């Protein structure tokens, strides 16, 4: 049992452990977000959960109920409970998936690099990267497909100085280890932290071209920052997803 002391004059408090159903649900959720379980794959049944985790039927049932309530699994007649096909990975999920599985995208999804070039950094991009406005920046624009359907588009930005050390960033060919892994190999800079923002928005002409939706359609727009060990921005990204794709976040609330 763990204890937390709040001050020299105060008694220690017992550190509470999450209930078992939350721990098990988190484990399955992480498998889905990392791509280990892909859309359409069956998730463990209540009987399997009981066996693997040594818990009661009521606990195992609550696990499945929790995941169904989040919309990331669905019941299919004759198949049981399977991963839903409308779960979208966040930039954080891509990094975690790369580290856990060696792959950034789950089975059934692929990305096509539409362009990769060196351009003057717009003001917002320059601010995000910590470089002067108009300084050279690497821009990589991609569209992600599930099957043949485009589901999201994103643009990654890097300081132009990386072009010499990591020249593949300026090529439209796929980088097998992903850009974070490639940058770590070529520069030694590792992603240590990240920050995401997202908002509801209407599709622009560029979004419409990438996603095959009408201009003005509802989309989720986001941006993210990836920081290295020294707290410097390695990558700044902007992305847009088609409507109807859930993004999952998890956090703890403490006094």
Residue 2 domain flag: no
CATH number for the domain that contains residue 59: 1.10.10.10
Same structural domain for residues 146 and 202? yes
Residue 234 domain flag: yes
Instruction: Report how far apart, in Å, the C-alpha atoms of 38 and of each of 30, 97, 102, 107, 111 are.
Output: 11, 12, 15, 6, 16
Question: Can you tell me whether residue 159 is helix, strand or coil?
Answer: strand
Same structural domain for residues 135 and 189? yes
Same structural domain for residues 199 and 225? yes
pLDDT at 32: 82
Confidence of residue 94 (pLDDT cuts 50, 70, 90): low
Same structural domain for residues 36 and 149? no
Of 83, 103, 130, which residue constitutes the final position of a domain?
A: 83
Confidence of residue 1 (pLDDT cuts 50, 70, 90): very low
The Cα–Cα gap between 148 and 112 comes to 11
Of 58, 83, 108, which residue constitutes the final position of a domain?
A: 83
Same structural domain for residues 175 and 110? yes
pLDDT tens for each residue of 158-211:
999 999 999 999 999 888 888 888 999 999 999 888 888 889 999 999 999 999
pLDDT tens for each residue of 104-148:
655 667 889 999 999 999 999 999 999 999 999 999 999 988 888
Domains contained in the chain, number? 2
Q: Which of 124, 114, 106 is nearest to 221 (CA)?
A: 124
Same structural domain for residues 46 and 131? no
Residue 255 domain flag: no
Residue 11 domain flag: no
Same structural domain for residues 241 and 181? yes
Question: Can you tell me whether residue 146 is helix, strand or coil?
Answer: strand
CATH number for the domain that contains residue 217: 3.40.1410.10
Share of the chain above pLDDT 70, in %: 80
Same structural domain for residues 162 and 183? yes
Same structural domain for residues 151 and 177? yes
Of 83, 115, 134, which residue constitutes the final position of a domain?
A: 83
Residue 14 domain flag: no
Residue 129 domain flag: yes
Question: Can you tell me whether residue 42 is helix, strand or coil?
Answer: strand
Which range marks the domain in which residue 52 is found?
19-83
Q: Which neighbouring-strand residues pair with 146?
A: 109, 149
Same structural domain for residues 221 and 120? yes
Residue 3 domain flag: no
Same structural domain for residues 69 and 93? no
């Amino acid at each position: 049992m763990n204890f937390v002391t709040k001050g020299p004059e105060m008694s220690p408090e017992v550190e509470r452990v999450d209930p078992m159903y939350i721990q098990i649900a988190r484990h399955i959720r992480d498998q889905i977000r990392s791509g280990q379980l892909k859309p359409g794959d069956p998730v463990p049944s209540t009987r399997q959960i009981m066996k693997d985790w040594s818990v009661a039927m009521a606990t195992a049932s609550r696990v499945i109920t929790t995941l169904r309530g989040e919309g990331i699994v669905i019941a299919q007649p004759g198949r049981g409970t399977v991963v839903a096909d409308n779960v979208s990975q966040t930039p954080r999920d891509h990094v975690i998936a790369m580290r856990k599985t060696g792959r950034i995208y789950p089975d059934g999804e692929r990305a096509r690099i539409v362009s990769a070039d060196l351009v003057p950094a717009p003001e917002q991009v320059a601010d995000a990267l910590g470089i002067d406005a108009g300084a050279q920046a690497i821009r990589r624009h991609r569209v992600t497909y599930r099957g043949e359907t485009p589901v999201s588009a994103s643009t990654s930005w890097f300081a132009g100085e990386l072009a010499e050390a990591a020249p593949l960033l300026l090529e439209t060919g796929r980088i097998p280890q992903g850009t974070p892994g490639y940058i770590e190999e070529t520069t030694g800079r590792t992603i240590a932290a990240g920050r995401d923002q997202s908002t509801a928005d209407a599709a622009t002409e560029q979004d419409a071209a990438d996603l095959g939706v009408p201009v003005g359609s509802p989309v989720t727009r986001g941006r993210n920052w990836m920081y290295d060990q020294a707290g410097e921005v390695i990558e700044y990204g902007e992305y847009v997803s088609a409507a109807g794709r859930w993004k999952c976040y998890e956090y703890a609330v403490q006094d």
